[in-house]
Amino acid sequence: MGDFMFERNINLIGKEKFNLLQNKKILIIGLGGVGGYALETLARSGILNIDIIDFDKIDITNLNRQIITNQNNINAYKVEEAKVRALSINPNIKINTFKTFLDKNNIDDILSNNYDYVIDACDSIETKIELILKRDIYKYKLISSMGTAKKIDPTKLTITTLEKTSYDPLAKVIRKKLRELKYNKKVLVVSSTEQVIESDNLGSFMMVPASAGILLAKYVIQDILENK
């Protein structure tokens, strides 16, 4: 199988740059609607070293938007199903799973694994803040997903910096907390400029989280290729 699986990738970027992709180590936090598509994109792009973190099990309500889910794996752990899916795409991937909730109690143990890139696709504001604050210590490049719920237009998503986001309630909260901590360094994010759809209940269409996950992975891939 080898490089034949990625022949069309190599045709675009060349073997030397493709080898760069294979040698980087990526961490994905959260394997839901966003993180699942980030993993899918990395796996199909030739990334070989990926660690994934999620404490949650698959619920039937996940089927409308999460690529790792199906009718046969409800109640299975997301990290386990994500690993099975990634290896079914490329059995050469070295993928480590952490079936845990990432927080300040275990984050140093995880981040000490020398990651080149960290993709934040989790829902926890506290975890997102910790990942931002720790990046200077552990020297990884970070990109974080902001809110994708209550939005239906994937064309409104963009890669930007936290201070430039608009119509994103999650980004607004994180900006406020970072200001309180007097942290003023730029934070790279994927965010939507679409106004939130007013609803009393949490809702989500696949197009937005899926596109956000692809954009997170796109940043990592492009950054590797442009900064060899």
Task: Name the band, by pLDDT with cuts 50, 70 and 90, for residue 199.
Answer: confident
Number of domains in the chain: 1
Among candidates 228, 87, 78, 218, which has minimal Cα distance to 158?
Answer: 218
pLDDT digits (tens, 9 = 90+) for 116-154: 999 999 999 999 999 999 999 999 999 999 999 999 999
Rounded distance, CA 201 to CA 131, Å? Answer: 29
pLDDT digits (tens, 9 = 90+) for 48-96: 999 999 999 999 999 999 999 999 999 999 999 999 999 999 999 999 9
Range of the domain at 146: 2-226
1 has a pLDDT exceeding 70: no
Pairwise pLDDT comparison (71 vs 2), residue with the higher score: 71
Q: Is 0.85 surpassed by the pTM of this model?
A: yes
Rounded distance, CA 100 to CA 94, Å? Answer: 19
CATH of the domain at 140: 3.40.50.720
Task: Name the band, by pLDDT with cuts 50, 70 and 90, for residue 2.
Answer: low
132 CB-near residues (< 8 Å, 6+ apart)? 142, 144, 174, 178, 183, 187
Mean pLDDT (whole number) for 163-168: 94
Sheet of strand 188-192: strand arrangement: 94-98, 49-53, 25-29, 117-120, 141-145, 188-192, 157-161
Among candidates 97, 51, 106, 104, which has minimal Cα distance to 78?
Answer: 97
Mean pLDDT (whole number) for 101-105: 96
Return the pLDDT at 203. Answer: 85
Mean pLDDT (whole number) for 200-210: 89
